[in-house]
């Protein structure tokens, strides 16, 4: 059974690597690889289910490999299988088979045929990593892969304005959920003083009984990403905007599998928080509010995708209630039914709309006029406006940080860049040399350095000048973060520092090279507007994407392990430190992706060829 667990992760990943060797016009070999992959995926999933049933339906935990180990920290790749994994894997395998088969014809002769199946196969790898994960570290690898694939499929029509804009909006929500998982791992490490598997969550609950504050924090960090990933109130508005990609990708991502990951997280972590009454009340409240608001919104939306998105969010709200009440098998049945229904609705929606257009032409009848009551009119208006959730989140969550970043526009001056760059380098070197500071300064220095890191990162986030300058300030932000961590703890090992610094530096150098290469085209890489350089520098855009995800610690460089380890050197009572560090990592990703979008994606600025309208 252990071999089958490894195979279920390896099959889609190997298929993803194989499809990279063909060009977009090679539809037959790509289609053959996808066809073999989906059949093998179903076969292995069914074999796992049968083996699990024969072995007495006992949960299986298997540690594949230990990537990094110290006395206080273990980064292990661990897999886990139980009834929750069984249901999510069977549903996922069947839906992957259906959508891949449908997409073979739907995407025929599309300019993004290869890119679509690359992303779908990579998503299958991330999805399997999440549901088969045996610990938080393994789950987070899949979590990051799934988030990247979501971004790529929302921005699939990368030469248009709205898909690119909505991809960035979705990523901004996803980054909050990413950091929530990291913070849960960080506090769990300080609670248990070791890295635990999901099989040990019940034991962790017993330890947490004597540490109420830490237990509340960890549980809140489980609930928040679940709310975001499953589009629960007040984060529901990202879901319909995420359906800017092809209909078939919307079906497997936001109609069925991806949107239910929040449900999976709550089910997986249930042994830890099941006795916390406040958590169950909160989950029930969130689910009930979402079910009501999303149902009212879905009834008055003018587009099919938006209606299906809100209807799906409403059903997931009911699943949240069922989880809190302990009806886990009902949740699993509800998940399977909702996933299949929404996939079917999205896949047939183009055909249904085509039929209804013809039906309306030949059988049109004027609907009767009906006067709405004030309450119905108010609910109708709120539903059409989606309860202003998107506007409120932008106004109260992101706008203050943008405003704050604009206050540091003086950093555009070269003298400030040089001074801050030297300061970051000096503090980093003194941190490595473990220079002794006075006791009062040593306590305040980490906070000061974290604040400086946040300042330069927010400036990069709000900058509308040179992309190269904004990219440089991101590197400076990483230097200040490392200096702050080194000044906060003298126990950081050299190898851990090398993991972090080497990954970030390699990604930054690659990104800087890409920016200079596109700057040579027409000497313009400002962030005032979309350039759309992917039209004439597609390969450069791909390399900059790799650089951007490397800068934020995606598992393509050793920085992924380094970031995870370095978080543990912030103590559980250092609230200011962890808040500042979390904000830094949130805006590092948003800044890097913003540069990617502004320079490489969106409508091409040159009008010597057809360019899509902003509203398309």
Do both 348 and 413 map to the same domain?
no
> What is the distance, to the nearest Å, from the Cα of residue 550 to the centroid of all Cα atoms in its chain?
15
DSSP H helices in 299-386? 304-325, 328-362, 374-384
User: What is the value of pTM for the model shown?
Assistant: 0.91
Do both 344 and 431 map to the same domain?
no
Do both 350 and 413 map to the same domain?
no
Residue 365 belongs to a domain? no
End-to-end distance of the chain based on CA atoms, in angstroms? 49
Do both 342 and 436 map to the same domain?
no
Structure tokens at 418: 């040089």
DSSP H helices in 193-234? 201-208, 212-229
Q: Going by DSSP bridges, is the β-strand pair 60-69/74-81 parallel, antiparallel, or unpaired? A: antiparallel
Residue 373 belongs to a domain? no
At 442 the pLDDT is 64
At 64 the pLDDT is 83
Residue 334 belongs to a domain? yes
Mean pLDDT of successive 10-residue stretches along the chain, which has 616 residues: 87 92 86 90 92 85 81 82 92 91 85 89 92 90 90 89 89 89 87 80 76 88 93 90 84 83 93 90 95 92 88 94 93 93 88 77 74 83 84 84 87 84 81 59 80 91 89 91 84 82 90 92 87 88 92 82 80 86 90 92 82 70
Do both 22 and 165 map to the same domain?
yes
Structure tokens at 156: 């699939």
Boundaries of domain holding 540? 407-600
Phi, psi dihedrals of residue 107, rounded to the nearest 5° = -95, 5
Whole-angstrom CA distances from 408 to 401, 417, 466, 471, 526 are: 11, 12, 15, 16, 17
- Distance in angstroms (rounded) separating the CA atoms of residues 110 and 112: 5
- Distance in angstroms (rounded) separating the CA atoms of residues 69 and 66: 7
Do both 55 and 131 map to the same domain?
yes
Structure tokens at 400: 């203050």
Do both 58 and 186 map to the same domain?
yes
Do both 25 and 141 map to the same domain?
yes
Do both 445 and 566 map to the same domain?
yes
Do both 232 and 338 map to the same domain?
yes
Query: 197: which strand partners?
Result: 135
Residue 493 belongs to a domain? yes
Structure tokens at 348: 């047939």
Residue 371 belongs to a domain? no
Residue 100 belongs to a domain? yes
Q: What is the DSSP letter of 255?
A: I
Residue 149 belongs to a domain? yes
Residue 609 belongs to a domain? no
Task: Find, among 553, 519, 509, 537, the residue nearest to 601 by Cα.
Answer: 537
Do both 97 and 214 map to the same domain?
yes
Do both 554 and 438 map to the same domain?
yes
Which of 320, 354, 388 delimits the end of a domain?
A: 354
- Distance in angstroms (rounded) separating the CA atoms of residues 204 and 353: 52
Task: Find, among 417, 520, 430, 527, the residue nearest to 474 by Cα.
Answer: 417
Phi, psi dihedrals of residue 466, rounded to the nearest 5° = -70, 135
Phi, psi dihedrals of residue 74, rounded to the nearest 5° = -135, 125
Q: What is the DSSP letter of 243?
A: G
Structure tokens at 497: 């520092």
Q: Which helix or strand (DSSP H or E) is residue 78 part of? A: strand 74-81
Total domains present in the chain: 2
> What is the distance, to the nearest Å, from the Cα of residue 396 to the centroid of all Cα atoms in its chain?
21
């Amino acid at each position: 059974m252990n071999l089958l667990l490894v195979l279920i992760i390896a099959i889609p990943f190997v298929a993803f690597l194989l499809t990279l060797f063909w060009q977009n016009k090679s539809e037959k070999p790509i289609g053959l690889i996808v066809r073999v992959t989906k059949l093998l995926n179903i076969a292995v999933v069914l074999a796992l289910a049968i083996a699990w049933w024969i072995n007495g339906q006992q949960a299986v935990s298997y540690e594949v490999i230990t990537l990094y180990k110290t006395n206080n920290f273990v980064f292990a790749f661990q897999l886990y299988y139980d009834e929750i994994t069984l249901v999510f894997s069977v549903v996922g395998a069947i839906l992957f088979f259906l959508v891949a088969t449908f997409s073979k014809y739907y995407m025929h002769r599309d300019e993004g045929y290869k890119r679509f199946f690359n992303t779908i196969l990579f998503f299958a790898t991330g999805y399997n990593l999440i549901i088969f994960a045996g610990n938080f570290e393994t789950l987070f690898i899949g979590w990051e892969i799934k988030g990247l694939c979501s971004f790529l499929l929302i921005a699939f029509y990368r030469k248009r304005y709205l898909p690119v804009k909505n991809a960035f909006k979705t990523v901004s929500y996803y980054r909050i959920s990413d950091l929530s998982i990291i913070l849960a791992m960080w506090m769990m490490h300080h609670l248990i003083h070791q890295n635990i598997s999901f099989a040990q969550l019940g034991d962790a609950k017993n330890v947490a009984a004597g540490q109420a504050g830490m237990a509340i924090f960890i549980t809140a960090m489980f609930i928040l990403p679940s709310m975001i990933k499953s589009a629960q109130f007040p984060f529901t508005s990202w879901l319909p905007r995420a359906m800017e990609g092809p209909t078939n990708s919307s079906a497997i991502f936001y109609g069925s599998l991806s949107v239910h990951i929040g449900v999976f997280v709550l089910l997986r972590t249930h042994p830890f928080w099941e006795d916390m009454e406040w958590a169950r009340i909160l989950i029930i409240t969130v689910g009930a509010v979402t079910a009501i608001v999303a149902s009212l919104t879905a009834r008055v939306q003018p587009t099919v995708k938006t209606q299906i998105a809100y209807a799906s969010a409403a059903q997931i709200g009911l699943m949240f209630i069922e989880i809190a009440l302990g009806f886990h098998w009902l949740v699993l049945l509800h998940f399977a039914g909702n996933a299949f229904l929404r996939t079917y609705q999205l896949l047939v929606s183009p055909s249904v709309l085509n039929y209804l257009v013809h039906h309306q032409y030949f059988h049109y009848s004027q609907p009767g006029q009906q006067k709405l009551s004030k309450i119905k009119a108010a609910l109708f208006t709120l539903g059409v406006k989606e309860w202003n959730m998107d506007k409120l989140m932008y106004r109260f969550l992101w706008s203050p940080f943008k405003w704050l970043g604009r206050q540091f526009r003086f950093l555009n001056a070269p003298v400030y860049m040089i001074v801050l760059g030297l300061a970051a380098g000096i503090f980093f070197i003194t941190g490595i040399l473990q220079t002794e500071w006075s006791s009062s300064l040593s306590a305040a220095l980490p906070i000061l350095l974290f604040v400086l890191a946040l300042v330069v990162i927010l400036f990069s986030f709000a900058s509308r000048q040179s992309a190269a300058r904004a990219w440089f300030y991101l590197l400076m932000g990483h230097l200040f973060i490392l200096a702050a961590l080194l000044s906060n703890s003298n126990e950081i090992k050299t190898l851990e520092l090398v993991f972090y610094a080497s990954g970030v530096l390699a990604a930054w150098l690659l990104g800087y090279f890409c920016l200079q290469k596109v700057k040579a085209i027409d000497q313009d890489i400002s962030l005032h507007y979309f350039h759309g350089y992917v039209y004439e520098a597609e390969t450069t855009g791909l390399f900059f994407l790799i650089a951007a995800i490397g800068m934020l610690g995606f598992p393509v460089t050793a920085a992924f392990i380094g970031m995870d380890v370095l978080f543990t050197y912030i103590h559980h009572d250092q609230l200011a430190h962890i808040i500042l560090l979390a904000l830094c990592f949130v805006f590092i990703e948003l800044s890097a992706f913003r540069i990617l979008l502004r320079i490489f994606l969106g409508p091409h600025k040159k009008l010597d060829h057809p360019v899509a309208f902003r509203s398309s």
